[in-house]
Structure 1
Amino acid sequence: MREYKLYIGGAWQDNTDGEVMDDFNPATGELMARVHMAGAADAEKALAAAHAARAVWGSAQPDVRERLLLRAADVMEARAEELTELMIAESGSARYKARGEVLGSAGVLRVAAGECRRVHGEVLQPTAAGQVSMAVRAPLGVVLGITPFNYPLILAVKKLAYAIGAGDPFILKPSPLTPAIGLAIAEVFEAAGLPAGVLNVVPGRSEVIGDLLVDDPRVKMVTFTGSSAVGRSIAVRAARDLKKVAMELGGKNPMIVLADYGAEKAADIAAYGAFCHQGQVCMATSRIIVEEPVYETFCAALVRRAEGLKVGDPREEDTIIGPLIQPNKWEFIDGQIADAVGKGAGLLTGGRHEGPWYWPTVLSGVTPEMRIFHEETFGPVTSVVRARDAEHALALCNDNEYGLSAALLTHDLEKAWSLSLRMEAGMVHVNDTTFLSGTTAPSGGVKFSGFGREGGRYSMEDFTELKWLTMQVEDKKMPF
């Protein structure tokens, strides 16, 4: 049985208070690892190590940071099979998802390496004679990253790779549901030759170390991916010290299907967006708003796609639906479905569970009066909503407190432009799924789905501080 220790200051350490958590495989219930959980004293060690590293790492040349990230990418690819197996065992990821996440994370490391040489400023117009005026970017200092269980590898790498590339030491607090994956990232960077203190990984309970890390004045920025409720709490705490924050929060992501788009192809796109990783995705396609003329045809096609997805052992190549990582999550999902059916929705398929497995579920006739229209589900459930026309579909799309990702399926170019520009989301994809990401694109939401953007140069902007710098090269006469 593997035992994972904390990674602090370039060394693997036992925790101080002795709490070691049993880490169970969500599919089998078997004990897969034991993980040291950080206490207050361990959090202090991580803060001190990161703070001590900031001057040296902040002044490291871009090519030094670039080479580190490229070596880390090489190590991750060399260990791809090992990391894939760990993802399956700890997070319940189906094999296709786990493998894609590992290789995608290596890609993020390479993109971040390229960005190390592209942290640009600019020369500004002078405000006085004989003055050189510039805007320059500098490292922030210590960055704290708090990451979720659903994509525990790539969502952590998307934060720490750019922060480290920008010259910021990083403290990673992974989800207590997937701590081993967070510590595996430290193993990758250690093998790549990471200097001590630049990356520190401290899994721990939020109530024990979460507030302590967020509140500490040595932390200059907090980047968080998770629920909107937790994100708001973190943002409020960080605001007390005017810390920089970046939040990618929940979503109730709409897909509009217009009548000119083929129902079968629309169902293929919707099924992937709704059911990938058991719907435990903040960008999952959870509200499908279909124009009246193709509504019934689309529902039938989506049911056929849902019923053709294999539910089972995530280790098997053809499994699409693996286990929910939280075994009692079915109670919340059942409650949403019962509320919808009780208010007139139709349960077309699914709505059942067996142990940690929940079958792909399609609800029809969903309306804004139902909880499931507004509440994030985080399970393999999607709602089909009837729209009279394109403008009604847009109104239904925007009738939500979330605004993370949205999709629009149509071959009408005029409607594609008109509607997509008015859809209230940080990301809008025409003729594709809501569940789309890119290594250089600005990923993030609006409204209760957060603020700040991740990806490429947009991450580098978040993880650096913009300064106005002037130099007077001629004598300047003062007003008095």
Structure 2
Amino acid sequence: MTTYAKQFINGEWVDGSSSKSLENLNPYTGETLFTMSSASAEDLDKAFRSAEEAFNSWQKTLPSEKRELLENVAHVMEKRKEEIIDWLVKESGSTLVKAEIEFGAALGIVKESASFPYRMQGRILDSDTPGKENRIYKSPKGVIGVIGPWNFPFHLSLRSVAPAIASGNTVVLKPASDTIVTAGTLIADIFREAGAPAGVLNVTAGRGSEIGDAFVEHPVPGVISFTGSTEVGSHIASLAGSQIKDTALELGGNNAVVVLEDADLEQAADAAAFGKFLHQGQICMSANRLLVHEDVHDEFLRLFTEKTARLKTGDPSKKETVIGPLIREEETERLKKEIQATVEEGAELHYGGGSDGAVMEPTILTNVTRDMPAAAKEMFGPVVSVLTFRTEEEAVELADSTPYGLSGAVHSRDIHRAVEFAKKVDTGMIHVNDQPVNDEAHAAFGGEKQSGLGRFGGEWALDKFTTEKWISVQNGRRSYPF
């Protein structure tokens, strides 16, 4: 605990030098897990300079040694799985089910990244110039700045940290202030135990309002990887763009699950419940809207409500709990205001709506139209809106009627029909006869429109954290026009 309440810079645990402090709370009990000194701009500079110095040697490290580090990280994770799960439960309010899912996804990212040192492939290209050979060399970009989120903190931080380091970069990681350990210092400790050289991974914990801009604007990092809200992501992109820095942004979503009239309604209801209520709906990919064909609306709603009513709420450390606390109690008040505003515009509170502390009941709103608050906004909580449609064209229009385009799902017994429907929706990811919360380490993960820039996962992550240089070689004398 004492270790995790420190900054990790150049291989050493140090106290932050800011006069301000960070309080780490258990969102379910309200217990203070620890209080720590925040990182200052000076600490931030030390971390980036340490990463810059470490990059000089790490990029030249043999691929077998880089792979060995990632394999060691996976081994340490498996050995310390119980500790990781415990921290996810008490720091981020994860239920045991969600924590297991998150651990598995994070382990998959690390194992996929272990292959990256041998996938740094260049190319030889032909030339239209006699005697010339064109070579394309792939190399790491340098120092990567990673800003980790609080909702899937361990996985979503590792999703950038592991591939960046595996491809020869060094990293400075700034965890969300609500999840200092699972988005930051625990990851640093795992890499330390796995044998990472000093400076390869550094962690600076501080509030975004205090060191966030300085983190992005620091001259050392060449790429800023951020997972979080669209509003903050837009600000980060603006700061990075002013310095011509590359960004990897995975932002908000207002994802739709579409239920066509020929769908397996029981499967669709089960999928929608998982895709909405996993981690209390605090996932960028969560189902925010259920778009149901009017002919099957009543039967689907009956099945979905029955499924929702069986979900246990409360203590996330208990095995039977499906819906635990929101990250902060004030989030319940925010959601209740959106629910009330939606009801005042003509929607019906069909199920739920109550809360106990930071735990909110799963909530279903019906008779919702696209412009009502609960449907138009990303709720980021256990609240879902049910809308109806008559035609496929109307369903596509409804699915696309938000500024976001992250994930989604469509249900139909006709696979070809569902795939053709999925192609029409303007979203980075969409899943047939499933739910929108999918993440596989080797697949392209990312969104369209205001849901982000770039892709994570597999070769797409490798491309994001590397650059390519064209070197041409002229064999023999070349003739020029003057």
Q: TM-score band (shorter)? A: over 0.9
CA distance in 2, matches of 1:101, 1:394: 31
Q: Which residue does 1:72 correspond to in 2?
A: 73
Q: Contact (CA 8 Å) 1:341, 1:347: kept in 2 or not?
A: yes
Q: Contact (CA 8 Å) 1:67, 1:113: kept in 2 or not?
A: yes
Stretch of structure 1 that moved more, 140-149 or 113-122: 113-122
1:471 is paired with a residue of what secondary structure? strand
Equivalent residue for 1:225, pick from 202, 223, 227: 227
Superposition TM-score, scaled by structure 2 size: 0.98
CA distance in 2, matches of 1:385, 1:100: 29
Q: Contact (CA 8 Å) 1:292, 1:389: kept in 2 or not?
A: no
Q: Does 1:405 align with 2:407?
A: yes
CA distance in 1, matches of 2:259, 2:36: 46
Report deviation, 1:414: 3.8
CA distance in 2, matches of 1:75, 1:41: 31
Q: Contact (CA 8 Å) 1:35, 1:179: kept in 2 or not?
A: no
Report deviation, 1:451: 1.1
Counterpart of 2:94 in structure 1: which amino acid? S
CA distance in 1, matches of 2:49, 2:420: 52
Q: Contact (CA 8 Å) 1:77, 1:103: kept in 2 or not?
A: no
Q: Which residue does 1:261 correspond to in 2?
A: 263
Equivalent residue for 2:294, pick from 273, 285, 292: 292
Q: Which residue does 2:47 correspond to in 1?
A: 46
Report deviation, 1:403: 0.2
What does the per-residue CA deviation read over 1:175-231, in whole Å, with 9 as the maximum and x for residues that have no partner?
A: 000001210000000000001111001110112211111111211000100000000
Report deviation, 1:158: 0.5
Q: Which residue does 1:107 correspond to in 2?
A: 108
Q: Which residue does 1:394 correspond to in 2?
A: 396
Q: Which residue does 2:137 correspond to in 1?
A: 136
Equivalent residue for 2:433, pick from 431, 434, 449: 431
CA distance in 1, matches of 2:29, 2:366: 33
Q: Which residue does 2:87 correspond to in 1?
A: 86
CA distance in 1, matches of 2:452, 2:23: 32
What does the per-residue CA deviation read over 1:303-337, in whole Å, with 9 as the maximum and x for residues that have no partner?
A: 11111100011111111000011210112111211
Q: Which residue does 1:6 correspond to in 2?
A: 7
Runs (4+) of structure 1 exceeding 6 A deviation are none
- In structure 2, stretches of 5+ residues that fail to align are none
Report deviation, 1:115: 2.1
Counterpart of 1:177 in structure 2: which amino acid? D
Counterpart of 1:147 in structure 2: which amino acid? G
1:391 is paired with a residue of what secondary structure? helix
CA distance in 1, matches of 2:89, 2:42: 32
Counterpart of 1:204 in structure 2: which amino acid? G
CA distance in 2, matches of 1:258, 1:83: 40
What does the per-residue CA deviation read over 1:142-166, in whole Å, with 9 as the maximum and x for residues that have no partner?
A: 1101111000000000101000011
What does the per-residue CA deviation read over 1:89-134, in whole Å, with 9 as the maximum and x for residues that have no partner?
A: 1001001111221232122111100122112222112131111112
Q: Which residue does 2:16 correspond to in 1?
A: 15
Report deviation, 1:292: 1.0
Q: Which residue does 2:204 correspond to in 1?
A: 202
The Cα RMSD (Å) is: 1.2
Counterpart of 1:452 in structure 2: which amino acid? G
1:427 is paired with a residue of what secondary structure? coil
Superposition TM-score, scaled by structure 1 size: 0.98
Q: How many residues align?
A: 480
Q: How does 1:212-361 map to 2 (within 5 A)?
A: 212-361=214-363
CA distance in 1, matches of 2:63, 2:45: 29
Q: Contact (CA 8 Å) 2:415, 2:432: kept in 1 or not?
A: no
Q: Which residue does 1:117 correspond to in 2?
A: 118
CA distance in 2, matches of 1:252, 1:281: 10
CA distance in 2, matches of 1:58, 1:166: 8
CA distance in 2, matches of 1:199, 1:404: 29
CA distance in 2, matches of 1:35, 1:432: 42
Q: Contact (CA 8 Å) 2:263, 2:413: kept in 1 or not?
A: yes
Q: Contact (CA 8 Å) 1:183, 1:201: kept in 2 or not?
A: yes
CA distance in 2, matches of 1:477, 1:217: 42
Q: Contact (CA 8 Å) 2:24, 2:177: kept in 1 or not?
A: no
Report deviation, 1:18: 4.5
Q: How does 1:112-191 map to 2 (within 5 A)?
A: 112-181=113-182, 182-191=184-193
Counterpart of 2:442 in structure 1: which amino acid? T
1:217 is paired with a residue of what secondary structure? coil
CA distance in 1, matches of 2:424, 2:220: 41
Q: Which residue does 1:367 correspond to in 2?
A: 369
